[in-house]
Amino acid sequence: MRRRTGLLFATPALLLFAVFVLYPMVTAFSYAFFHWQGTTRGEFAGTANFETLFTRAPFTTDLPRALLHNVLFFAGTMLFQNTIGLSIAALLHARHRSRRLLQTLYAMPYLVSPIVIGYLWTLLLSPTFGPVNTLLTSIGLEEWALPWLGDPTTALWVVILVSVWQWIGFPVLLYGAALGGVPEELTEAARVDGASHRQTFFRITLPLLIPAIGTVTVLTFIFAMEAFALPYAFGGSTGNPAGATDFVSLLFYRTAFDSGATDAIGSSSALATLLFVIIFGGAFAATAVLRRHERRITA
Amino acid sequence: MTRTGRTIVALAILTAALTVTACSPSSSSDDSPGTGDDVTLTVWSWRVEDQAAYDKIFDAYEATHPGVTVEFKPFKATEYNKILATGLAGSDGPDVPQVRSYGQLQATVASGALVPLDGKVDLSGWDENVVESAKGKEDGKVYSVPLATQTVQMFYNQGLFEKNGIAAPTTWEQFIAANDKLLAAGVTPIAVGAKDDWTLPIVHEVLAAPRFGGKAFRDAVTSGSASFTDPNWVASVQVLKDVEKYLPKNPTGVAVTDAQTLFSAEKAAMIPGGSFDLAVLQKANPAVKIGVFQVPPAPGSPSGSEATTAGWADGNFAVSAKSKHPNEATELVKWMSTKEFGQKVADEVKQLSAVPGVEYSDPLLKQMADNYANAGSPYLLLTDFRYGSPSGTELLGKGIQELLLGSKDAATVSADLDTGVKTWFTPVA
């Protein structure tokens, strides 16, 4: 009886989910298995569209490179955003009065659209008019005034670091909440036993934060694999310069909307499906590992 | 504790699902049936900035065609391809859509969304390269009426040229001497925004079209008697490396908008660009007196190769196969192939009309139109190498960035272009 009532209440939401999420998703999956002529669906294609992704130019060169950039984006975000975010959260945790205000300030940049952020930083870093290089030159660091977005070796890291700057408030908030959940008796007991601040953090607080770290990791993974708006704002749909800021979603966008190929819907749907499998697989595997760790803590 | 896990998986599915749904062409059905004898034709376009001009043009059409109302409905240019594909697949799409040209038209043609116009509109006497833009590659039928011709050429600041005692060059030696003089005067000679790869094949056409042989090479490469590994093509790519010192420092870090600002701020004396850039440049700094010239042939150019203005057709109009008023829509498109319409496009929209014999009051538009009429050539990577993926423009754009960055030489860039387009391109002898 109770279960049936629950189901009744869930129906509207389930219906919306089915119509607006599940149905288009399944349709998109199905597109990947057909031949296409423009928007007209042709015969069943089997796995032909997927084979295209691994055998035909430009995918053979662009897909591995784009995927590598997504992985680097994930690694860079983990390395900078989440470590710095955790440090800031830990420092803020000790400040009772200004914590709220500072948390809000750190979260501010992600209220701005990534397209705007990308545009602003493009202006700031412009080698012809940008204030960043003007400043570096005027304080005598001329050799540091690089063409930041024009050099393939720096462009990808500019994208990653600007993203870190924009999203830093996200781990700060999540870790802040998690730190609030660490029982004070434990840290106090450790301090009574003579543990230093450092020891307390690494031996008590950090292990207890593992569930939060896991959550942040999985969300970062999804975020990095789907990166689109910021790279698009920096390098356009082709990942300028010379493909240095190309990502899988940009490749999808190019294939679906920019290419002259008449079978664009087939190959782009195959690419979207592949991306889904990677994200789903990665998130699933990470969650499994995470759960095992959690069990160890609670045991 | 497993709740966190489940939430994460749910989130993963949800976000990924949103990515996937982004590519599903959907159709909506909400249409207003024709009322009585009065016919309303909807024209779709990606030129939001031309709304006023088109309203004026279509007012003139309505005056001579009683009972027909033409409604001009522009959409955001960057989203137009998606909107059009959806609109043509559904039942509330346009009667007369503005469609892309050459290779980018093919997906729309293949969908069966457009009505063939052979025998209905007369494009005889039109530039061959322009008519090609309106055809389906597979069946060779005409599916649209070209609106405008875009040409690419070198714009220059007449004031800066005069100040440095330079005239528009007619030989390569004069061109290089002018660059050296400007460089010595502390002016960036040629503003190029190589951060945006799409502009680089245009820069290549402007600076080096005579070096590979212009139209003659185009005929050779499309018929299969030459390829992009041809020494003349390789040398034409090398021209860009040779003039690198005349470009802004670290060109791959400079965006096209930066390059235009350099030109408008009179910090650069020349800028290679399209006829579509003229209005932007004039508006950015009306004090700059802009001139136009065709870059003379670089040394070693094939014999008989002369300075040229490359061009292509753009912004064609077609008739939707789902239009409820196919006769009226065809009549409108037919009107768009007349000199009357062409003249209005030149006067109101301020573009080079695709219709032959149109007069231009703006001296620069006139010069560009004359240059194309007298010494025109197809912008070959756009007109012939956008029928598949990877496209010629995409490959050369990225290749020239690599050339300027020093990671590839002209021969490798050309070879990459050749292998890239050969994955889908077959020459027609």
Q: What does the pLDDT look like over B206-232, one tens digit per residue?
A: 999 999 999 999 999 999 999 999 999
SS3 content of chain B, % helix, strand, coil (to 5): 50, 15, 35
Pairwise CA distance, residues B122 & B150, whole Å:
21
The residue type found at A262 is T
pLDDT digit string, tens, across residues B310-363: 999 999 999 999 999 999 999 999 999 999 999 999 999 889 999 999 999 999
The answer as to whether B428 is a domain residue is: no
B190, B107: one domain: no
d(CA A14, CA A229): 29
Q: What is the dihedral of CA B331, B337, B342, B348, to 10 degrees?
A: 40
Q: CATH code at B388?
A: 3.40.190.10
List chain B residues with CB under 8 Å of A272: 19-20, 22-23
pLDDT tens figures, A48-71: 999 999 998 889 999 999 999 999
What does the alpha-carbon distance between residue A215 and residue A221 come to, in Å, rounded to a whole number? Answer: 10
Backbone dihedral angles phi then psi of residue B157, each to the nearest 5 degrees: -90, 105
Position with higher pLDDT, B252 vs B15: B252
Q: Is residue B88 part of a domain?
A: yes
The token duo for B298 is: 């670089």
Among A277-281, A291-295, B153-157, the minimum mean pLDDT is found in: A291-295
Check whether residue B66 and residue B117 sit in a common domain. yes
CA distance B65 to A150: 54
Task: Determine how β-strand A34-37 pairs with β-strand A40-44.
Answer: antiparallel
Q: Return the sign of the alpha-carbon dihedral for residues B161, B167, B168, B173.
A: negative
Are B1 and A37 inside 8 Å of each other by CB? no
> Do residues B278 and B367 touch, judged by C-beta distance below 8 A?
no
In Å, how far are B118, B249, B253, B422 from B244, measured between CA atoms? 47, 9, 13, 29
Residue with tokens 């050099």, as numbered in its chain: A151
C-beta atoms of A39 and B13 within 8 A: no
Residue B61 near residue B335 (C-beta atoms within 8 A): yes
b/e for B100-137, b at 16 or more Cβ within 10 A? bbbbbbbbbbbbebbbbbeebbebeebbebbbbbbbbb
Q: Most confidently modeled of A139-153, A262-276, B299-313?
A: B299-313
DSSP A144: G
- Mean pLDDT across B244-271: 95
* Chain A residues whose beta carbon lies within 8 Å of the beta carbon of residue B1: 211, 291, 294-295, 298
Residue B44 and residue B161 in one domain: no
Whether residue A251 is predicted with pLDDT greater than 90 in this model: the reply is: yes
Q: What's the pLDDT score for residue A299? A: 59
CA distance A10 to chain B (A): 16
Single-letter code of the amino acid located at B94: P
| Residues B297 and B176 occupy one common structural domain | yes
Q: How many CB atoms lie within 10 A of CB B257?
A: 16
For residue B401, give the nearest of A21, A242, A273 by CB distance: A242
Region class of A6: left (phi > 0), else alpha (psi between -120 and 50), else beta: alpha
Query: What does the domain layout of chain A look like in residue ranges?
Result: 46-298
Task: Give B-chain residues touching A23 at CB under 8 angstroms.
Answer: none
Asked if pLDDT for residue B103 goes beyond 70, the answer is yes
Q: Tell whether the model's pLDDT for residue B237 goes beyond 50.
A: yes
pLDDT at B16 over 80: no
Q: Which two tokens stand for residue A161?
A: 């670091």
- B250 shares a domain with B399: yes
Residues in chain A with CB shorter than 8 Å from the CB of B26 are 24
In this complex, the residue of B16, B110, B253 whose CB is nearest that of residue A38 is B110
Averaged pLDDT score across all residues of chain B:
90
- What mean pLDDT do residues A207-221 have? 92
CA A252, CA B16: separation in Å to the nearest integer?
13
How far apart (Å, rounded) are the C-alpha atoms in residues B21 and A21?
Answer: 7
Q: Which residue of B has its CA nearest to A242?
A: B398
B177 and B133 part of one domain: no
Distance from CA of B362 to the nearest CA of A (A): 32
Kindly report the backbone phi and psi dihedral angles of residue B346, in degrees, each rounded to the nearest multiple of 5, phi listed first: -65, -45
The predicted pLDDT at position B8 comes to 52
B98 and B194 share a domain?
Answer: no
The number of angstroms, rounded, from the C-alpha of B122 to the middle of its chain's C-alpha atoms is 24
Task: Report the percent of chain B where pLDDT is more than 90.
Answer: 81
B82–A241 C-beta distance less than 8 A: no
Whether residues B108 and B139 share a domain: the answer is: yes
Indicate whether B139 and B204 sit together in one domain: no
Distance from CA of A194 to the nearest CA of B (A): 32
Q: Percent of chain B scored above 70 by pLDDT?
A: 91
Nearest-Cα residue of chain A relative to residue B17: A25
How many angstroms separate the Cα of B423 from the Cα of each of B256, B266, B408?
30, 44, 21
Query: Do B183 and B304 belong to one domain?
Result: yes
Domain of B36 in residue numbering reads as 30-147+315-337
Q: The dihedral of CA B75, B80, B84, B87: what is its sign? A: negative
B188 and B80, same structural domain? no
Q: What does the pLDDT average to over B47-54?
A: 92
Ramachandran class of B86: left when φ > 0, alpha when ψ lies in -120 to 50, beta otherwise: alpha
Q: Quick count: other Cβ atoms within 10 Å of Cβ B289? A: 12
Q: What is the pLDDT of residue A94?
A: 84
Average pLDDT over residues A211-236: 93
pLDDT one-digit tens code per residue, B258-296: 999 999 999 999 999 999 899 889 989 999 999 999 999
Report how many Cβ contacts below 8 Å link chain A to chain B: 209
CA separation for the pair A106, A166 (Å, rounded): 9
Number of independent structural domains in chain B: 2
The residue to which tokens 């025109």 are assigned: B376
Query: Does the residue B4 lie in any domain?
Result: no
ipTM over cut 0.90: no
| Gyration radius (Cα) of chain B, Å | 24
* Contact present, B75 and B22 (Cβ < 8 Å): no
Report the chain A residue with the minimal C-alpha distance to residue B79: A257
Q: E strand or H helix at A88, and its extent? A: helix A83-94
% residues pLDDT > 90 (chain A): 62
**Residue reference for tokens 């050459």:** B102
Q: What is the CATH number of domain A46-298?
A: 1.10.3720.10
pLDDT digits (tens, 9 = 90+) for B53-102: 999 999 999 999 999 999 999 998 878 988 998 899 888 899 999 999 99
Q: Give yes or no: residues B155 and B125 share one domain.
A: no
Q: Which residue, B406, B202, B371, B353, is CA-closest to B291? A: B371
* CB contact at 8 A, B145 and B337: yes
Q: Residue B88 CA to chain centroid, in angstroms? A: 23
Of the two residues B11 and A113, the one the predictor is more confident about is A113
- pTM for the whole thing? 0.86
Q: Is pLDDT above 60 for A227?
A: yes
